[in-house]
């Protein structure tokens, strides 16, 4: 076992795993599974910077706050953008899962995107400690996702995992318990939402907020023409007369805008494949590409990638839970998986 992580031997049952994502934060506990799943959103008092709400309640306030309050997403593109607010958010999340039975300062395994800088890794360790953890250990997201998927990560067998989250799409090749290639690409769920805001503004002369755009994406968003047409009625503010207005959006009208973003992701996957060692390439041809993260659920994305790259593509069973499920397995079988932990000094 890596000597750096010896201190973690004998995991206590109240140690926590955290998937700190741009869109969602999930927390698991060794013997209890996932105990928190909340949007990574905070509403603060604009003057005092005190927390007003966190998680799901804060997310509902996006675009609706009075001047005295501000809604913030403290992570951008998978990394901490606002250190102080991230710390406060985590502290509130710890409080939510804290029970009298728990130690007040748990040890924590927390994920970071593969290939982030040492500074960004240290920031995650420090923020986790400042928020109340006794010790913090890092795992790279795609490695956690692979373990969550049930892959044998220590095999000399290459797997490609494409984790499409809110802020970033992480395209990774893993083999022999490590990340061989990683690319973090800033086209993911949030960009799909922005494209919908823009489309609705241009084609329907209607202004909508980001939560409405996300609702449209999840209800009817598609990147290829579907056999079945979906539609949703939404409200916004008319650009023409400034008044509230309802419109109906269908899946087929979004294909062009969202399909263009899917093509950008496909080109990034292609460029990683082109740089992948031949032996690993043939493994990927055999194993296919696994899609994880909430963005994997955009309709037709798997099919579009499959057709463009002529490779099998499958969506993880629980795309939003792959990473936290992997961390949970690590907590449960630490001896087996501790080798995959990385220190803040690990660089590519």
Ligand X SMILES: Nc1ncnc2c1ncn2[C@@H]1O[C@H](COP(=O)(O)OP(=O)(O)OP(=O)(O)O)[C@@H](O)[C@H]1O
Which residues are at the interface with Mg ion (CB under 5 A)?
Answer: 21, 165
Q: 233 to each of 88, 163, 216, 224, 227, how far by Cα in Å?
A: 36, 30, 9, 21, 20
Which runs of consecutive H residues, i.e. helices, occur in the chain? 56-60, 83-97, 118-130, 141-148, 189-204, 210-220, 251-274, 278-287, 301-309, 322-332, 334-337
Residue 106 binds which of Mg ion, ligand X, none (CB < 5-8 A, kind-dependent)? none
Q: Which does 300 bind (CB under 5 to 8 A by kind): ligand X, Mg ion, none?
A: none
Shortest Cβ 77–ligand X spacing (Å): 7
74 scored as a contact of ligand X (CB under 6 A): no
Residue 166 contacts ligand X per CB under 6 A? yes
Which one of residues 23, 71, 175, 344 is an interface residue with ligand X (CB under 6 A)? 23
Distance CA 260, CA 254 (A): 10
Least CB distance to ligand X at residue 11 (A)? 24
111 vs 74, 274, 327, CA distance in Å? 16, 27, 8
By the rule CB under 6 A, 165 interacts with ligand X:
yes
Selected from 320, 324, 330, 340, the binder of ligand X by CB under 6 A is 320
Binding of ligand X by 17 (CB under 6 A): no
Residue 24 interaction partner, one of ligand X, Mg ion, none, beta carbon < 5-8 Å per kind? ligand X
**One residue of 188, 258, 316, 327 binding ligand X per CB under 6 A:** 188
Two tokens, residue 278: 């031949």
User: How big is the site for ligand X, counted in residues (CB under 6 A)?
Assistant: 22
Beta bridge partners of 267: none
Q: Is 181 exposed, middle or buried (0-12, 13-18, 19+ CB in 10 A)?
A: buried
Q: How far apart are CA 64 and CA 80, in angstroms?
A: 24
Q: Are strands 42-45 and 69-72 parallel, antiparallel or unpaired?
A: antiparallel
Residue 167 Cβ, how far from ligand X at the closest point, in Å?
4
Q: Compute the distance between CA of residue 68 and CA of residue 246 in angstroms, rounded to an integer.
A: 29
Q: Are 5 and 137 in contact (CB under 8 A)?
A: yes
**What does the CA dihedral 10, 12, 16, 17 come to, rounded to 10 degrees?**
30
By CB under 6 A, residue 305 contacts ligand X: no
Pick one of Mg ion, ligand X, none as the site partner of residue 15 (Cβ within 5 to 8 A by kind).
none
Binding mask 191-230 for ligand X (x = CB under 6 A): -----------------------x--xx--x---------
- Dig out the tokens for 88 from the structure: 């406060």
Residue 175 engages ligand X in binding (rule: CB under 6 A): no
Q: How far is the CB of 179 from Mg ion (least distance, A)?
A: 15
Interactions with ligand X, residue window 223-282 (CB under 6 A): none
Q: Is 189 in the site for ligand X (CB under 6 A)?
A: yes
Q: Give the footprint of ligand X on this chain (CB under 6 A).
A: 21-24, 78, 165-168, 188-190, 214, 217-218, 221, 293-295, 297-298, 320
């Amino acid at each position: 076992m890596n000597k750096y992580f010896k201190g973690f031997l004998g995991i206590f049952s109240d140690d926590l795993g955290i998937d700190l994502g741009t869109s969602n934060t999930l927390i698991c506990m060794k013997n209890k599974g996932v105990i928190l799943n909340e949007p990574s959103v905070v509403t603060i008092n604009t003057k005092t910077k005190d927390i007003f709400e966190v998680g799901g309640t804060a997310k509902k306030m996006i675009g609706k706050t009075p001047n005295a309050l501000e809604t913030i997403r403290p992570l951008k593109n998978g990394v901490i953008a606002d250190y102080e607010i991230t710390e406060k958010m985590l502290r509130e999340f710890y409080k939510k899962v804290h029970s009298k039975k728990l130690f007040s300062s748990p040890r924590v395994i927390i994920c970071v995107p593969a290939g982030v800088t040492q500074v960004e890794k240290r920031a995650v360790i420090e923020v986790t400690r400042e928020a109340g953890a006794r010790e913090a250990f890092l795992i790279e997201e795609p490695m956690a996702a692979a373990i969550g998927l049930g892959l044998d990560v220590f095999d000399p067998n290459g797997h490609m995992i494409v984790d499409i989250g809110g802020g970033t799409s992480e395209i990774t090749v893993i083999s022999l318990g490590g990340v061989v290639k990683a690319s973090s690409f800033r086209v993911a769920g949030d960009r799909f939402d922005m494209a919908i805001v823009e489309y609705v503004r241009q084609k329907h002369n209607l202004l909508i907020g980001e939560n409405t755009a996300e609702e449209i994406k999840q209800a009817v968003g598609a990147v290829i023409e579907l056999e079945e047409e979906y539609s949703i009625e939404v409200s916004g503010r008319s650009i023409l007369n400034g008044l509230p207005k309802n419109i109906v959006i269908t899946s087929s009208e979004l294909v062009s805008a969202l399909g263009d973003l899917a093509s950008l992701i496909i080109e990034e996957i292609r460029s990683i494949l082109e740089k992948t060692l031949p032996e690993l390439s043939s493994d990927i041809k055999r194993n296919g590409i696994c899609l994880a993260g909430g963005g994997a659920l955009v309709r037709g994305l798997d099919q579009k990638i499959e057709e463009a790259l002529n490779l099998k593509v499958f969506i993880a069973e629980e795309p939003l839970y792959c990473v936290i499920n992997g961390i949970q397995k690590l907590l449960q079988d630490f001896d087996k998986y501790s080798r995959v932990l990385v220190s803040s000094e690990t660089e590519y």
